[in-house]
């Protein structure tokens, strides 16, 4: 087993397009690291550089203690699972899994042992003689994972492996991947644009945007204390509400003339400084007007079953409140929201960085 260390890794494509702008990251041995971000944020490029499918323009990638910049993908001791599975269509499931081992000259009985073992773990034993086209999407994905497992690699790389599956299967496979990773204890790097996948799978969550890392942390940390406005609105569903506001004094901000208390606020901000106030839809409650409350005009309600989403405006900006069904009358037009000072996030409108305690 081995960890992965990235040191100011850059990818510059022809025409001076910088897809990855100096990323440094240390991934511990045995941990599950998820790279998440919108399309074109460089997360896949980064993964492909670790895999050796893209050259590294600058910086270094280390797997264990070994710098792998100049090492062929096959010799990096990694295994990769692709979004479209990339199974060899003309080979049986068994041959698909055995191919890599055969190319490395693994003895026949050892190959058979490993393939059988992987097939058992993934419950694909009945399909070993079939061709990929005779399998369903979920089964193909298992075969793709089997192909990774038999290699006994130092690192698993996953490139959006669940994107081609339907919603139900995706949830099921997500749990399986997590369980498998825990059982095998192999360092894993997983790329996704789906923040639910990112939150549920990761030990270490890396949020990327525009070729750079926005924040690294445990899922809870990233959710509870987003470092930038981008992270705040990207992680969490429905996304965090952002309201324009100004600093009133120590521990208080004003949103459209309504004053609310804030726990996590940078000291020494001069009153009148413009800030962006972030509130998660699930962090505000309907309540009586008090020392820290906001008035909201409700436009319509979305029913989600267990919860309801109230869409409307606070201080002229769009605002969403999530509440358990029945907690708030569905036909309400005016809503008073009470805000827990600990749940208010402040961001600098210019730098979009968090204005929290240092």
Partner 1 sequence: MVENRPFAQFMAYLTLAIGVVVVAFPVYLAIMASTFDTATIINGNMPLTPGNQAAENYTRALFYGGKLAREPVSMMMVNSMIMALGIAFGKILISIISAYAVVYFKFPFRKTAFWVIFITLMLPVEVRIYPTYKIVADLGLLDTYTGLIMPLIASATGTLLFRQFFMTVPDELLEASKIDGAGAFRFFKDTLLPLSMTTIAALFVIQFIYGWNQYLWPLLITTKSSMQTIVIGIKKMITTTDALTEWQIAMTTAVLAMVPPVLVVIFMQRLFVKGLVETEK
Residue 100 binds partner 1, judged by CB under 8 A: yes
How far is the C-alpha of 120 from the C-alpha of 104, rounded, in Å?
23
Reduced to 3 states, what is the DSSP secondary structure of residue 295? strand
Residue from 52, 245, 281, 312 that binds partner 1 (CB under 8 A)?
A: 52
Report the C-alpha gap between 108 and 113 in whole angstroms: 9
Residue 99 interacts with partner 1 (CB under 8 A): yes or no: yes
CA distances from 29 to 1, 2, 32, 207, 345 (A): 6, 5, 9, 20, 33
CA distance 18 to 185: 34
CB 77, min distance to partner 1, A: 10
Q: Closer CB to partner 1, residue 99 or residue 112?
A: 99
Among 8, 24, 55, 84, binds partner 1 (CB under 8 A): 84
CA distance 2 to 66: 10
| 51 belongs to the binding site for partner 1 (CB under 8 A) | yes
Could you tell me the smallest distance in angstroms from the CB atom of residue 51 to partner 1?
A: 7
Residue with smaller CB distance to partner 1, 89 or 250? 89
Q: Which part of the chain contacts partner 1 (CB under 8 A), choosing from 51-59, 213-221, 222-230, 276-284?
A: 51-59
Is residue 91 within 8 Å of residue 144, measured between CB atoms?
A: no
Q: How many residues bind partner 1 (CB under 8 A)?
A: 25
Nearest CB to partner 1, comparing residues 55 and 327 = 55
What distance in Å separates the CA atoms of residue 261 and residue 102, rounded to the nearest whole number? 65
152 binds partner 1 per the rule CB under 8 A: no
Choice from 73, 210, 238, 349 touching partner 1 (CB under 8 A): 73
Q: How far is the CB of 152 from partner 1 (least distance, A)?
A: 14
Q: Which of 13, 28, 90, 291 binds partner 1 (CB under 8 A)?
A: 90
Compose the 110-129 pattern: x for residues touching partner 1 by CB under 8 A, - for all others.
Answer: --------------------
CB of 104 to partner 1, least distance (A): 5
Q: State which of residues 12, 26, 53, 317 lies at the interface with partner 1 (CB under 8 A).
A: 53
Q: How far is the CB of 88 from partner 1 (least distance, A)?
A: 6
How many angstroms from the chain centroid is the CA of residue 93?
30
Q: If you write DSSP's letter for every residue of 70-114 in order, what string do you get? A: TS-GGGTTEEEE-TT----TTS-HHHHHHHHHHHTT--HHHHHHH
Integer Cα distance of 284 and 275 in angstroms: 19
Contacting partner 1 (CB under 8 A), which of 3, 37, 42, 132? 132
Cα distance between the two ends of the chain: 36
* Residue 14 in the binding site for partner 1 (CB under 8 A): no
C-alpha–C-alpha distance, residues 35 and 9, integer Å: 15
CA distances (Å), 121 to each of 174, 181, 356, in order? Answer: 15, 12, 46
Judged by beta carbon, residue 71 or residue 196, the one nearer partner 1 is: 71
Please, what is the minimum distance in Å from the beta carbon of residue 116 to partner 1? 19
Q: Which residues bind partner 1 (CB under 8 A)?
A: 51-53, 72-75, 78-80, 82-84, 86-90, 99-100, 103-104, 132-133, 147
């Amino acid at each position: 087993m081995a960890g992965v260390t990235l040191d100011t890794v850059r990818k510059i494509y022809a025409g001076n397009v910088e897809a990855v702008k100096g990323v440094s990251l240390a991934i511990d041995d045995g941990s599950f690291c998820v790279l998440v971000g919108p399309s074109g944020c460089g997360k896949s490029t980064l993964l492909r550089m670790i895999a050796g499918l893209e050259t590294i323009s600058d910086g270094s990638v280390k797997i264990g203690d070994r710098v792998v910049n100049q090492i062929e993908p096959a010799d990096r001791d990694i295994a990769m699972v692709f979004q479209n599975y990339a199974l060899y269509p003309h080979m049986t499931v068994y041959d698909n899994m055995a191919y890599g081992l055969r190319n490395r000259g693994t003895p026949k009985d050892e190959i058979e042992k490993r393939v059988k073992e992987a097939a058992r773990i993934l419950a694909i034993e009945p399909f070993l003689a079939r061709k990929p086209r005779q399998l369903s999407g979920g089964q193909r994905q298992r075969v793709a994972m089997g192909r990774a497992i038999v290699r006994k690699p130092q690192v698993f790389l996953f490139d959006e492996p669940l994107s081609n599956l339907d919603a139900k299967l995706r949830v099921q496979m997500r749990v399986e991947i997590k369980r498998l990773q825990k059982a095998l204890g192999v360092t894993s790097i997983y790329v996704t644009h789906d923040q639910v996948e990112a939150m549920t799978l990761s030990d270490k969550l890396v949020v990327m945007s525009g070729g750079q890392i926005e924040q690294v942390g445990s899922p809870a940390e990233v959710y509870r204390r987003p470092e930038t406005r981008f992270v705040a609105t990207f992680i969490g569903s429905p996304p965090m509400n952002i309201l324009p506001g100004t600093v009133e004094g120590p521990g208080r901000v004003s949103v459209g003339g309504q004053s609310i208390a804030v726990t996590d606020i940078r000291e020494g901000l001069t009153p009148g400084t413009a800030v962006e106030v972030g509130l998660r839809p699930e962090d505000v409650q309907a309540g009586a007007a008090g020392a820290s409350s906001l008035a909201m005009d409700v436009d319509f309600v979305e029913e989600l079953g267990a919860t309801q989403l109230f869409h409307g405006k606070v201080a002229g900006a769009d605002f969403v409140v999530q509440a358990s069904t029945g907690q708030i009358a569905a036909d309400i037009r005016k809503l008073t929201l009470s805000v827990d000072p600990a749940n208010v996030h402040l961001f600098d409108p210019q730098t979009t960085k968090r204005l929290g305690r240092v």
